[in-house]
């Protein structure tokens, strides 16, 4: 408790005793004092002291020098090289001064959530032997005018004070979610946001090379396009480093790091797991290894087996299994729907089906887990049309077997429309290279419908070859609720050479 508050309370008690001794009712004075105390306690100044710049907040945000090292961060080799080069400017001051290089004031880390931006900032502090002070953009947002700007000043002052106390010559200030306070100013933003951003720009402009404590500001965002241009110009955030989703090699490295302290069975293949987790972030891979260990513990196994990782992949991708019960008719329709996806996926990308399951997870009543194979970042029209066919295959299978469709294909249609949009936007459609704003929506919708109709027709025709496969796979799937990729492929190859039996789409 503040010394001034303690004195005020003591004085108040003395006044009450004195008034009681004189025979005066102290209640009105107590009510008046309570109102004054409330106004004082909830004033902007006090709010700011209780916030980021207050005593309790300061304890939470100071982490001194983190112990995280760059070699403990899996993948991101290019991003780490870029960051280390920038950090060397902070370490080798004399060398950069001899070349007349001005110090870097800010480094912006951009990329999807869970890719390790905060870990990179902590590793930067360890690499440069700097104190580390962190805050998130949301901590600066307050209803009181001027509080955010005051907290920015406190943040920079605290960093310098902590560095001097620890005997360090540099400090790193890390602001996560900087887009909260650094968004584009277009006249409609709240005055408090503008004041906070202006104060941050002022503090960064005040960073000088000859200061006893050199400050480096690092920030993270997954919405770089939303940031104000004043933040992005040279002299503020000089370096923009992309921390992207890991590729297969990086995923295997991340998995290796997170399984070092876990008992793995002989059948565990991290290379296969890395191949099946395309699009996973570092955070998702960490969660995957943790969930696999939990599955092993549930079964009282002494080692984590490959099947536990397979179950964990499903959970991270789709969510935990649900207790949702379906009728036999719905169960059969779901099985037909998922088998449609699996058959077309195996047709366009042989060896891509990892598992067909009828176990409800999240909002899905069933699912097909695909093995993406080699990571792909560029797509031709054929690649995108193949993806569309896989999306439409569930509805096409229902049309083939039942003569009608259900609402179960709603999400499939959304994905298919996204692929069609990519075809048109990339200039791969018959419309050629276009500007979306110069083309009427009716014309674009007409082209999209044409592509979708053609893909659905081809998908339906191909599924017609596999009526007998539907029957055999349904028997297994409805009994076991899970059909492995290898077992599915054995059955698929038996019917792949059957003559085509064309059924017209209704």
pLDDT digits 0-9 by tens, 180-211: 888 877 655 556 667 888 888 888 888 776 67
Buried/exposed 258-284: b ≥16 CB within 10 Å, e otherwise: bbeeeebeeebebeebbbbbbebbbbb
* Cα distance between residue 506 and residue 504, in whole Å: 6
Q: What is the pLDDT of residue 60?
A: 40
Ranges of H-type helices in 247-327: 248-258, 270-276, 282-298, 306-318
The residues that are catalytic are 338
Angle in degrees, CA 398, 332, 311, rounded to 5: 105
SS3 content of the chain, % helix, strand, coil (to 5): 60, 10, 30
The residue among 197, 36, 195, 220 whose CA lies nearest residue 124 is 220
Two tokens at 373? Answer: 């194979």
- What's the mean per-residue pLDDT of the chain? 82
Which positions of the chain have pLDDT values less than 70? 1-23, 25-63, 142-146, 186-193, 209-210, 323-324, 362, 372-375, 496-506
Cα distance between residue 452 and residue 384, in whole Å:
11
Position 390 scores a pLDDT of 95
- Looking at residue 503, its pLDDT comes to 41
Predicted pLDDT of residue 435 = 86
Contacts of residue 170, defined as CB under 8 A and 6 or more positions apart, other chains included, come to: 90, 128, 129, 130, 131, 163, 213, 214, 215, 216
pTM > 0.75: no
Rounded distance between C-alpha atoms, residue 163 and residue 130, angstroms: 7
How far is residue 204's CA from residue 159's CA, in Å, rounded to a whole number? 13
Contact 132, 172 (CB under 8 A): yes
pLDDT single digits (tens) 241-266: 999 989 888 999 999 999 999 999 99
């Amino acid at each position: 408790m503040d010394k001034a508050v303690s004195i005020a309370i003591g004085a108040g008690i003395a006044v009450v005793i004195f008034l009681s001794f004189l025979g005066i009712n102290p209640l009105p004075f107590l009510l008046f004092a309570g109102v004054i105390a409330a106004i004082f306690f909830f004033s902007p100044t006090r709010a700011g002291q209780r916030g980021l710049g207050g005593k309790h907040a300061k304890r939470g945000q100071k982490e001194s020098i983190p112990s995280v090292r760059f070699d403990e961060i899996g993948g991101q080799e290019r991003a780490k090289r870029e960051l280390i080069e920038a950090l060397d400017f902070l370490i080798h001051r004399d060398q950069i001064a001899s070349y007349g290089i001005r110090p870097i004031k800010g480094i912006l880390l951009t990329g999807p959530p869970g890719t390790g931006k905060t870990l990179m900032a902590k590793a930067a502090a360890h690499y440069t032997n700097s104190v580390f002070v962190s805050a998130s953009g949301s901590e600066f947002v307050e209803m009181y005018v001027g509080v955010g700007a005051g907290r920015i000043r406190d943040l920079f002052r605290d960093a310098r004070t902590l560095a001097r106390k620890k005997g360090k010559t540099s400090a790193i200030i890390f602001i996560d979610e900087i887009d909260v306070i650094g968004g584009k100013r277009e006249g409609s933003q709240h005055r408090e946001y503008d004041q906070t951003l202006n104060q941050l720009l002022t503090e960064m402009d005040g960073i000088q090379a000859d200061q006893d404590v050199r400050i480096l500001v690092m920030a993270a965002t997954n919405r770089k396009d939303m940031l104000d241009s004043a933040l992005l110009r040279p002299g503020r955030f000089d370096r923009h480093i992309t921390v992207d989703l890991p590729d297969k090699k990086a995923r295997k490295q991340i998995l290796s790091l997170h399984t070092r302290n876990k008992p793995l069975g002989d059948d565990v293949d991290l290379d296969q797991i890395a191949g099946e987790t395309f699009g996973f972030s570092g955070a998702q891979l960490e969660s995957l290894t943790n969930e696999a260990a939990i599955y092993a513990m549930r079964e009282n196994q002494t080692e984590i087996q490959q099947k536990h990782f397979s179950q964990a992949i499903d959970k991270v991708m789709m969510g935990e299994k649900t207790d949702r019960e379906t009728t036999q008719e719905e169960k059969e329709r779901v099985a037909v729907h998922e088998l449609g996806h699996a058959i077309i996926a195996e047709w366009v990308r042989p060896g891509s089906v990892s598992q067909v399951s009828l176990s409800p997870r999240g909002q899905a009543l069933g699912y097909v887990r695909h093995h993406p194979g080699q990571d792909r970042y560029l797509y031709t029209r054929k690649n995108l049309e193949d993806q569309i066919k896989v999306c439409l295959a569930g509805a096409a299978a229902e049309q083939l077997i039942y003569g009608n469709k259900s609402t179960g294909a709603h999400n499939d249609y959304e994905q298919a429309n996204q692929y069609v949009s990519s075809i048109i936007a990339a200039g791969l459609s018959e419309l050629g290279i276009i500007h979306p704003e110069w083309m009427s929506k009716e014309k674009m919708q007409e082209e999209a419908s044409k592509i979708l109709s053609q893909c659905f027709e081809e998908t339906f025709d191909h599924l017609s070859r596999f009526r007998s496969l539907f029957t055999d796979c349904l028997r297994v799937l409805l009994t076991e609720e899970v059909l492995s990729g290898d077992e599915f492929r054995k059955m698929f190859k038996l019917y792949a050479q059957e003559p085509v039996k064309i059924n017209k789409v209704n």
